[in-house]
Structure 1
Amino acid sequence: MESRSQAGGQVKRIEQKWGFGLAPIKPDVQRGRVEAAKTVLATITQGHHAALGRLDDLSTVKGLFTRTYKKDQWDWFTVCAQLGYPPFREARQTSSTLQHLRRCLRDGNWQAATEAATALRAAGVPDRLSNFVTGTSAPLAGRGFVYVLSTREAPEMLKIGYTNRDPLTRAKEINSATGVIIPWGVRGTWKVAHARRVEGDIHALLADYRIRKDREFFQVPFAEAARVIDEYVVEVR
């Protein structure tokens, strides 16, 4: 939104209260999602009868996992945190399998539905949904995260840091700091061991893009930064 100042120029108003992906979820929306997660959890752990008459719940939960890898909704990272930060490939596969499971249940293909439920159990989906329903977080088990932030106004000005805590909490802390006018949004996170050391190595790999040596800001397209981080993380695992 813009308004005219006393000097006659245009003043750009910043209306958003949170960075892209970090939007809080309305209580009634969250209640509906939790009920859907309960249905899916029962379906893949107790049997297909739990989904009878509630097939749309599978679509709802599929949509939650889809959010986490498409990153195209204002609450995508909030949902990602609630699901325990599923990696890209896992989230995409879970979304696809849930869609397949719904189709099998709709068509009465019980054998294929059983196989889909087995695949979801093997992928650890019940644990993610249990934590989603109860609002608890899975333990980090000594691991941390490297994160990449940017604003929508300057998408190639990246802040690359690390945290040994929940990255959603860290992103909110950064945005609440004095001097932050335009809130940062999360572009990506990587769960790693020795997060502080990994952050330093990634900073070194991206040194040509660093704006100041004493700050963790880089002028680089996110796709390039993500490629460098992906390659590094694969190499050190």
Structure 2
Amino acid sequence: MSFKNVRGPHNPVRTTMPLAAYRVMGFGAVPVDEREWQPRIDAVRTVLAALTDGDMPAASPELLDAFSVVKGLFSRIALGDTGDWYSVSRLLGYPSAALSMAASWRMAWTRAAIREQDGDVFRIAASRLEDDHCLEMLGNYLEMTIEKSYPLVEHGWAYILWSSTERDLMHVGAAAGTVEDVLKRLDREHPDHAAFGVLSAWLVHDPLEAYVGIHERLSPAALGDGFFRLDLGQAKTAVETLLRETENVSHSPWHGDQKLAEPVRHTTADGADFLIK
């Protein structure tokens, strides 16, 4: 059996501003392409059924393709590299970038276990997905897309927002309301700008603490009114480090203070040793 080619997201995390102009819908908040709408629903439904059943499913091209598609959904959120990444995050219930990175890897491990029909690896990877509430996230996706239920409304966010009108500026901060509330306010206050979108967002426990800490750490790059001029990678690192140090981040609405499930080292029957992330 071979697990040497198991891979998480194929691209690096976005650390530069998008090149395209996002005039009507801001980056990250672009609606899901209608050509991808039904295939994604079908893939989520297939993967959720396979994970809920509990037993090792038989391998088939359709099932393996479905896991690839769902892995790609989590990869979008982890990397923040596509115009619809925040729209996808909303459908999945706002998993954090760190959780989405882990989920992408675990979807890849589960897919490989099904392909190789390795029950031990399947149980380990699938249990990590369950421990981190990924089944609830897939269920939320189906509720919002099929049943047209209202999205989860989560208050308390840290964020990096951006309009393609001024490519070298970012709006960075935290608020007690929703990210959508802040986007609407920025669009209203800057009617001459292209629509504001989302470069990064973190669900936080204490938005005021996050707001104060962010502005203290980024003060050398501050331009006023919450706008900053600095490298996106530096801004992401600064905010993520602050939230991690102050334990002021929640990985999903289902997590609360729960930490992410730890990777597991596993030795296969033929003696190969792997770290299942």
TM-score (norm. length: structure 2) = 0.70
- The 8 Å contact of residues 18 and 175 in structure 1, kept in 2 or not, is answered as no
Aligned in 2, Cα 1:163/1:232: closer, same or farther, shift over 3 Å? same
- Where 2:156 maps in the other structure, the secondary structure is strand
**1:156-171 mapped onto 2 (5 Å cutoff):** 156-168=168-180, 170-171=182-183
* 86, 99, 111: which one aligns with 1:77: 86
- Where 1:45 maps in the other structure, the secondary structure is helix
Q: Distance in 1 between matches of 2:173 and 2:58?
A: 43
Aligned in 2, Cα 1:19/1:144: closer, same or farther, shift over 3 Å? same
- Where 1:159 maps in the other structure, the secondary structure is strand
1:223 aligns with 2:233: yes
Q: 1:196: how far off?
A: 2.9
**1:30-49 mapped onto 2 (5 Å cutoff):** 30-46=37-53, 47-49=55-57
Aligned in 2, Cα 1:182/1:139: closer, same or farther, shift over 3 Å? closer
- The 8 Å contact of residues 48 and 135 in structure 2, kept in 1 or not, is answered as yes
The aligned counterpart of 1:118 is 127
Q: Distance in 2 between matches of 1:207 and 1:111?
A: 50
Q: Distance in 1 between matches of 2:185 and 2:66?
A: 33
1:25 aligns with 2:32: yes
TM-score (norm. length: structure 1) = 0.81
- The 8 Å contact of residues 156 and 222 in structure 1, kept in 2 or not, is answered as no
Q: Distance in 2 between matches of 1:32 and 1:96?
A: 21
Unaligned runs of 5+ in 1: 1-13
Q: Distance in 1 between matches of 2:137 and 2:58?
A: 18
Q: 1:98: how far off?
A: 0.8
Q: 1:133: how far off?
A: 0.9
Q: 1:188: how far off?
A: 1.0
* 66, 78, 102: which one aligns with 2:75: 66
* 177, 191, 210: which one aligns with 1:179: 191
Q: Distance in 2 between matches of 1:170 and 1:34?
A: 29
The aligned counterpart of 1:3 is none
Aligned in 2, Cα 1:227/1:107: closer, same or farther, shift over 3 Å? closer
- The 8 Å contact of residues 59 and 117 in structure 2, kept in 1 or not, is answered as no
Q: 1:194: how far off?
A: 2.2
Per-residue displacement from partner, 1:22-43 (whole Å, max 9, x unpaired)? 1111345222212211111111
* Equivalent pairs, count: 220
The one-letter amino acid paired with 2:132 is A
Identical positions, percent: 25
- Where 1:204 maps in the other structure, the secondary structure is helix
- Where 1:22 maps in the other structure, the secondary structure is coil
Q: 1:177: how far off?
A: 5.2
The one-letter amino acid paired with 1:223 is G
The aligned counterpart of 1:203 is 215
Q: Distance in 1 between matches of 2:59 and 2:50?
A: 6
Q: Distance in 1 between matches of 2:35 and 2:236?
A: 35
Q: Distance in 2 between matches of 1:50 and 1:164?
A: 46
Unaligned runs of 5+ in 2: 1-20, 145-149, 248-277
The one-letter amino acid paired with 2:193 is I
Q: 1:61: how far off?
A: 0.4
Q: 1:117: how far off?
A: 1.4
Q: 1:166: how far off?
A: 3.5
Larger relative contact order (Cα-Cα within 8 Å, sequence gap ≥ 6): 2
Q: Which has the higher helix share?
A: 1
Larger Rg: 1
Q: Distance in 2 between matches of 1:161 and 1:227?
A: 14
Segment of structure 1 superposing worse, 179-188 or 61-70: 179-188
Q: 1:178: how far off?
A: 5.5
Q: Distance in 2 between matches of 1:91 and 1:209?
A: 29
Q: 1:16: how far off?
A: 3.3
Q: Distance in 2 between matches of 1:39 and 1:190?
A: 29
Aligned in 2, Cα 1:188/1:71: closer, same or farther, shift over 3 Å? same
